[in-house]
Amino acid sequence: MTTKTALITGASSGIGLAAAAQLAAEDYGRVIATARTQEKAAVSLVDLERRTNAKVFVSEVVDLSVPATIDALADRLRDAGVSIDLLLLNAGMMSGATPKHDDQGFELTFSSSIIGHHQLTIRLLNDQMLAPKARIIIACSEVARGDVPMVSVIDVESFAAKTTDGDLVEALKRIAKAKGPGKFRPNDVYATAKACVAWWAAALARQLPPGMTVNAVSPGLTPTTNNARNSAWFARVVIPGIMKVLGIGGSAEEAAQNYIEVAKLDDTVTGKFFAAPAGKIAGPIVVQTQCHIINRRLQDATFEAIESLAGGTKLSAVKGVYK
């Protein structure tokens, strides 16, 4: 029997729930499925066991916008001696017309998609709770490519020139707080948070010990999930309804397969952003190489900004520590 362990965030709904179920059919003997509350975690556990008829699930609680819950989760995992082979950072959300801030002042799109995931990842790495050949996958999106109509990745360099005397790190911190200048555009903030996911993964890959990988993966457009829950009625109900009728986008199960496909790649593939090719919003994924995605200055500035926002804890010198 396998003892491989996966931990997945945002497993209470949509693609995360589907991915947790699929991991039970892969060679994972333990799937730690996290939700934001005990109640949601308990409901997901029942649902996962019913869907899969497997007894491999452990339900856990973490709210990525509340740092104390991240530390508490990491403490429990450490005390239980858990070693994680797949860290699937799937959670994320998009705000509605007005920004929503957590208690630290970060817009929730950023804290759920990247800041909380950074804090969790660094804690697990520094406490050596990731297996030597661990795979880290973080949820990205096609909108980070910058070519999806009516959605823009904020031009961080221009924004920095206007607001922070060209300082990219300070500009990114400001963007994560979504306090302007300019009108709040939830789609653009979401696209920029997901671009930060791709930049962060590229920068983290350069710091991981040999054998371990991190990749940003878009599951692809999936109209059946709760991703648009904060959007206006038209975007939340009508557009997904039309997409379902026209067959645009994929199912949560197909989306989850994209994560699992990349998790199976060998350790030569790291720091990449996988998404559907230009012109497509779901389906088979390829490595993205747009100029802004492979921009080393943006990758390093993003890592520095997110590290600072997540409390400043540095990654210990992990290279060589893992045997």
Ligand X SMILES: NC(=O)c1ccc[n+]([C@@H]2O[C@H](COP(=O)([O-])OP(=O)(O)OC[C@H]3O[C@@H](n4cnc5c(N)ncnc54)[C@H](OP(=O)(O)O)[C@@H]3O)[C@@H](O)[C@H]2O)c1
Starting at the edge strand that comes first in sequence, how are the strands of the sheet with 30-35 ordered? 57-61, 30-35, 5-8, 84-89, 130-139, 213-217, 273-275, 286-287
Q: By C-beta, is 12 or 192 nearer to ligand X? A: 12
Which CB sits closer to ligand X, 61 or 265?
A: 61
Which of 49, 253 has the CB closer to ligand X? 253
Q: Where are the beta strands (DSSP E) in the chain?
A: 5-8, 30-35, 57-61, 84-89, 130-139, 213-217, 273-275, 286-287
240 burial level (CB within 10 Å; 0-12, 13-18, 19+)? buried
For residues 14 and 67, which CB has a smaller minimum distance to ligand X in the complex?
A: 14
146-150 — which CB contacts under 8 Å span 24+ positions? 146/191, 146/195, 146/290, 146/292, 147/278, 147/279, 147/290, 148/191, 148/281, 150/187
Helix and strand tally (H, E) in the chain? Answer: 12, 8
Secondary structure (DSSP) of 143-163 = GGGS-STT-----HHHHHHHH
Smallest gap from Cβ 140 to ligand X, in A, equals 7
Residues that bind ligand X (CB under 6 A): 9-10, 12-16, 36, 40, 62-65, 90-93, 112-113, 139, 141, 218-219, 221-222, 225-227, 229
Shortest distance (Å) from residue 108 CB to ligand X: 6
Considering beta carbons, is residue 228 or 315 the nearer one to ligand X?
228
Q: Measure the CA angle with vertex 264, ends 270 and 91; round to 5°.
A: 75
| Alpha-carbon torsion angle 24, 70, 294, 181, nearest 10 | 130
The DSSP bridge partners found for residue 107 are 101
Provide the minimum distance between the beta carbon of 165 and ligand X in the complex, in angstroms, as a whole number: 32
In angstroms, what is the minimal distance from the CB of 309 to ligand X?
14
Closest CB 172 distance from ligand X, rounded Å:
19
Which residue, 13 or 299, has its beta carbon nearer to ligand X?
Answer: 13
Whose Cβ is closer to ligand X: residue 63's or residue 307's? Answer: 63
CB of 221 to ligand X, least distance (A): 4
CB of 11 to ligand X, least distance (A): 6
| Cβ-contact 91, 115 below 8 angstroms | no
Beta bridge pairs of residue 215: 137
CB nearer to ligand X: pick between 24 and 169? 24
Shortest spacing between CB 282 and ligand X, in angstroms: 8
